[in-house]
Structure 1
Amino acid sequence: MESVRLLSQRLQTGVLCMFGSGFHCSWHCRRLLQRGRSSCFPDVVASAACRPRKCRLQPQGRETLLCASYLSQQLTTDVSQATLASVAPVFSLMKFDKEGNISFSERKKTELYQELSLQARDLRFQHQVSISPRNNRIIMRMDFLKAVVTPEYLLILDYHNLNMEKWLFQELAPQLAGEGQLVTYSLPFEFRAIEAILQYWISYLHGRLNNLQPQILETLDALVDPKLLSVDRSKVHILLQNGKSLSELETDLKVFKETILDILDEEEVLEELCLTKWTDPQVFEESLSGIDHADEMELLLENYYRQAEDLINDARELRVLIDDSESIIFINLDRGKLRGNAGSGSQNSLK
């Protein structure tokens, strides 16, 4: 890296003033001046008080401390810049505008948050599920779905995910352009973007439940039948795996529901989510004349809060069925063991 190469040129033996051991070398400073490298560290050379005599170790004084301080700062700055330049994450971006037009690009994190007038921490996506207004932007995360909503466009970050492929390439653009089934089509763009993301996520969670429900019911029917002479242990393993998946789904539903509830409890956050209200004077005047966008946002979020509650109740019913069936499954397992032992005893007696 160029910055590292330049740094290594600067840190010659004569420039590193042995600040670690508490001494500095005047002779090396003189050599540095003779080679015309004083421009690299002008403050250090000026403060080193170099003398045209043989190299000798001198006790650490004010000059040495200044030299060490300057070198330490220079080393930290140059190496940090080189490291950031080499490891800065690159986001693959999919951009949707109001008309449903799509464009693709790649941006380093540093470039992206500057373009969006955000801070670096805003794009860390620390929480698995979050909806956060920041500087007239909305940062959203639904697990693997990461997005930034502005009054003019929607950015999907790191869009290479099989779960989102159909939605991104077939459904999202028409929804944002007002051709879908969104209830917010007559409201500003950020409403459509938020609704589209929430609709996708609740559909994704619903799909996971719909996939688990028939598997669990079928497995339970096979395990609790009183006519069974033996229990298929492989089905017990399947039930355990499905039970684990159900627990994960319940957790995701709970986090989603609580995230929305936190916003509903904060009137200021609801206001901040209405981006266009604060950037378009006409929209602001309309809100004052009776069209309250914060109320519209509240209704939108309440709708998905209720949907999350319904899914939680359905998942809870499945959990109750599993818990209630455990005792019967254990009885059938014990019955199978007894029959197996009895069969072995009969064979031994025949012998």
Structure 2
Amino acid sequence: MFASYAKMWVMTTRRIPAFLRTFCQSKRMLHQVDIEASALLQNNLLQRNNTLYNYGSGTIRCTIFDNVGQYHPIEMKRRDLVSKHELLPRDLRKIERSRKQDLVPSLLVRQNGILISLLTTRALIKPDMVIVFDSVGSGISLDSRTHKKFIQGLELKLGNQVVNKDTLPYEFRALEAIFVSALSNMSSEMKVLLTVCNGILEDLEYSITRDKLRFLLVQNKKLTVFRRKAVLVREMLNDILEQDDVLCGMYLSDKLRGNLRAKDDHAEIEMLLETYYSHVDEIVQTVEGTISNTKTTEEIINIVLDSNRNQLMLLGIRFAMGTLSLGAALWIGSLYGMNLENFIEETSFGFILVTTLGVLCTSWLFAYSIKQLHKLQKMSLAANPHINIK
């Protein structure tokens, strides 16, 4: 028995190194899997951040204007755009968001440039260069008349210093061209919306139809969206006008020459922005007036429809009262026409008596019902003695 136990012990001790080797190999394999998973997770996070900020991958199509207004289209890498022009990676989100409908405008002042996002225009303004990003949105293509008109206006405005000796700095002339284009597009869109909406309101004064009301609802929604867009532009300009450091930082040419502006020395850009602020505020007020007229018309239409429904209800009530009043005459006539003996049949004035009695009962009951209906129609609180007004 001792020999058998010794043999089993020797076999067990021989199996332990093999088990340890298997355990160590499994541990090394798990450690290798953890390292690969960590590397894969790190790569995914890095790719996610690059995708979030659109940084380091792909190119952006843009148009570059020089200091005399000459332009040429190029494709620039995102990494080069951030490194050469001293932008932040998150600034690329504003540029790429133009592919979607982005109604929120912004004007960001950087160390050596101004990044502006206004309606469908995305541009980077520098002291001697303007980069217009061609990824415009809201259905405006690069070959559209609106975009071509904007490019021509920007080229003409940037070349005014050479032709017409414009005294404004280069960056202010670029800003002026962008704001003029944006306000021109807003004014054109506003005129179209107001013309259509006013035409519907005029037609509703003559006849109210279901199609007109549906069309008015659609136009009212478009006016509300347009008003929101104009209000956002006005709020952006108002916020910029309240920040002295931002206004002073927009003097890129002076900053390039080393001339630092005082905190309250920004009269030129302040007057320029206030001019456009007044134009945008006028657009907002005009649109709000039209929306107010539309809501007033809708309320009047609802009042008219309620009045028509009330008249139909009153007509139905009058018919019901007339039917009830005729019930009295029918009841009297049915009593007279029963196959029972009564003293009225023996007289010569029975028919006249029954007819007169039926007419009188019908008239009295109808008049009493109409009188009660008129009392219910009165809306005077003082006429009701049971109501105490304190």
Q: Judge same fold: TM > 0.5, yes or no.
A: yes
Moved over 4 A (4+): 63-74, 76-85, 179-182, 331-342
Structure 1 residues 340 and 109, CA gap change in structure 2 (3 angstroms) = farther
Does the alignment pair 1:156 with 2:132?
Answer: yes
Aligned residues: 279
> Is residue 94–residue 159 contact of structure 1 (8 Å, CA) maintained in 2?
no
Match of 2:63 in 1: 94
- 1:246 aligns to what SS in structure 2? helix
Cross-structure match for 1:104: 73
Q: Is the 8 A contact 1:176 1:193 kept in 2?
A: yes
Q: What SS is found at the alignment partner of 1:149? A: strand
SS at match of 1:103: strand
TM-score (norm 1): 0.68
Report SS of the residue matched to 2:221. helix
Q: 1:57 aligns with which of 23, 30, 33?
A: 23
Higher-helix-fraction structure = 2
2:153 touches 2:177 (CA, 8 Å); kept in 1? no
Shifted more, 320-329 versus 238-247: the winner is 320-329
> Which residue of the partner structure matches residue 200 of structure 1?
181
Q: Which residue of 2 aligns with 1:3?
A: none
- Using the TM superposition, give the Cα deviation of residue 95 of structure 1 relative to its aligned residue in structure 2, in angstroms: 1.1
**Amino acid of the structure 1 residue aligned with 2:63:** M
> What does 1:178-197 correspond to in 2, within 5 Å?
178=160, 185-197=166-178
Q: Are positions 1:136 and 2:105 aligned together?
A: no
**TM-aligned CA distance change 1:179 to 1:189, over 3 Å:** closer
Q: Kindly report which structure 2 residues correspond to 1:2-151, keeping only aligned pairs within 5 A, or say none.
A: 56-58=22-24, 71=36, 74-76=39-41, 88-125=57-94, 128-151=104-127
Query: Structure 2 length normalisation: TM-score?
Result: 0.61
Structure 1 residue 67, shift from structure 2 partner: 6.1
The one-letter amino acid paired with 1:242 is Q
1:305 positional shift = 1.0
The aligned counterpart of 1:234 is 211
Question: 1:249 and 2:226 equivalent?
Answer: yes
Root mean square deviation of aligned Cα: 3.8
Percent sequence identity over aligned pairs: 23
**Which residue in 1 is equivalent to 2:339?**
none
In 1, Cα distance between equivalents of 2:300 and 2:312: 18
Q: Which has the larger radius of gyration?
A: 2
Residue type matched to 2:127 in 1? P
Q: Quick check: 157-166 or 261-270, which moved more?
A: 157-166
What are the superposed Cα offsets for residues 67-108 of structure 1, whole Å, 9 maximum, x if unpaired?
A: 6776456445556677859x8353110111221111111123
Establish whether residue 168 from structure 1 lines up as the match of residue 170 from structure 2.
no
Inter-CA distance 100–181: structure 2 relative to 1 (3 Å threshold)? closer
Give the partner amino acid of 1:233.
R
Aligned to 2:352: none
